Amino acid sequence: MFLKYPLVGALCAQLLSLFVIKIFIQVIQTNLQLSYLVFLQACLSVFITQQIFKLPKWFFFISILFPLTFVLAFHFFQFSSWVYGVLFIFFALTFSHTLKERVPLYLTNEKTYQALRKITKEINAKSIVDLGSGLGGVVRALSEKNIFSYGVETAPLLWIISSLLSFFSFKGKILRQNIWNTKLSEYDMVYAFLSPAIMEKLYQKVKSEMRSGSLFVSNSFAVEGVLADEVWQLDDQRQTILYLYKIK
Ligand SMILES: C[S@@+](CC[C@H](N)C(=O)[O-])C[C@H]1O[C@@H](n2cnc3c(N)ncnc32)[C@H](O)[C@@H]1O
């Protein structure tokens, strides 16, 4: 369960640590300094996320940073309460998929846009969709007079911002639509920059819906057990790899 929803695991680890520390303080009947409490909280939650829940390595850092930032924000800086409300709404409207689908928000860069433009020319694509289009950069970059470029995005704030950008730049169109409800048969090229956690499920959809002769391109995440027809290694800073799967 926690491997499927690691953020829920990380939150439970924090709550569990808090509970253990509370009992510990009651037992020793001494009030500990705040810095000791933060240290204990971080150590315990690192232990729980890494040794008990066996969450990925980067939760090591989240376990340490969470109590630290929490104490810094609430103890040392006296923000008024509406700031936290606004921040909460902002994160909820932007990162709604991180918790549900384990797909964080990171964006395709300019060098990758160029490579994608080259691919669309090579296959003479007339219709393209970016599954989970974020701020819509790919959609606008691939939009041309004779190319219909679409994005599907459900995170509300991202959808609003990218729709406005598309509207005012006359480049592409963003649909407020879930990836899993998107008909892939309508597109010559489907692009995804998502997460390894959903690649297998996504490829099943790709295989059953995409037309023969069309192309599925995945940024950074290969489909396990399926040999890509082409692999493009880009020379950008993050050494992006594009996996190209031709639909037969
Ligand atoms: C890694 S970002 C990629 C953004 C954009 N494609 C790019 O390359 O710049 C993944 C995006 O997919 C969106 N997403 C994740 N799951 C989704 C789903 N089931 N339906 C629609 N969008 C989804 C997230 O909100 C996020 O904006």
138 with 28, same domain? Answer: no
239 with 143, same domain? Answer: yes
The pairing of strands 230-233 and 241-246 is antiparallel
In a domain, 96, yes or no: no
| Ligand 1 and 106: CB distance under 6 A | yes
Share of the chain above pLDDT 90, in %: 58
69 with 183, same domain? Answer: no
Residue with tokens 């909280």: 41
Picking from 26, 61, 78, the residue at the C-terminal end of a domain is 78
pLDDT tens string 123-174: 999 999 999 999 999 999 999 999 999 999 988 889 999 999 999 999 999 9
pLDDT at 58 over 70: yes
The CATH code of the domain that includes 121 is: 3.40.50.150
**Residues 206, 184: contact at Cβ < 8 Å?**
yes
* CA–centroid distance, residue 131 to ligand 1 (Å): 6
Q: Which two tokens stand for residue 39?
A: 């240290």
Q: Which two tokens stand for residue 117?
A: 């433009």
The pairing of strands 148-152 and 127-131 is parallel
Share of the chain above pLDDT 70, in %: 90
Q: What is the pLDDT of residue 173?
A: 97
Across the range 42-53, mean pLDDT stands at 91
> Could you tell me the residue range of the domain that residue 25 belongs to?
6-78
Element (H, E) at 24: helix 6-28
Residues 6+ apart with CB under 8 A from 247: 206, 207, 210, 211, 212, 213, 214, 215, 216
* CA–centroid distance, residue 109 to ligand 1 (Å): 15
In a domain, 217, yes or no: yes
241 with 164, same domain? Answer: yes
pLDDT at 85 over 80: no
Ligand 1 atom with the smallest distance to the CA of 95 is 25
| Ligand 1 and 150: CB distance under 6 A | no
Q: What is the pLDDT of residue 87?
A: 73
Across the range 179-195, mean pLDDT stands at 96
When mean pLDDT is compared over 28-42, 60-74, 106-120, the highest value belongs to 106-120
Regarding predicted confidence, which is higher, 2 or 153?
A: 153
pLDDT tens string 63-80: 898 888 888 777 776 667
Element (H, E) at 206: helix 199-209
* CA–centroid distance, residue 71 to ligand 1 (Å): 31
In a domain, 190, yes or no: yes
What is the strand order of the sheet 189-192 is part of? 173-175, 148-152, 127-131, 189-192, 215-219, 241-246, 230-233
Which range among 20-24, 181-185, 224-228 shows the weakest confidence by mean pLDDT?
Answer: 20-24
| Ligand 1 and 101: CB distance under 6 A | yes
pLDDT at 84 over 80: no
In a domain, 27, yes or no: yes
74 with 162, same domain? Answer: no
Ligand 1 atom with the smallest distance to the CA of 155 is 25
Can you tell me the distance from the alpha carbon of 237 to that of 243, in angstroms, rounded to the nearest whole number? 18
Give the sign of the dihedral formed by CA 162, CA 220, CA 111, CA 105. Answer: positive
Regarding predicted confidence, which is higher, 23 or 1?
A: 23
pLDDT confidence band for 100 (50 / 70 / 90):
low
232 with 151, same domain? Answer: yes
Ligand 1 atom with the smallest distance to the CA of 152 is 21
Nearest Cα residue to atom 8 of ligand 1: 108
When mean pLDDT is compared over 16-25, 47-56, 60-69, 135-144, the highest value belongs to 135-144
In a domain, 118, yes or no: yes
In a domain, 102, yes or no: no
| Ligand 1 and 175: CB distance under 6 A | no
Q: What is the pLDDT of residue 61?
A: 86
Ligand 1 atom with the smallest distance to the CA of 94 is 25
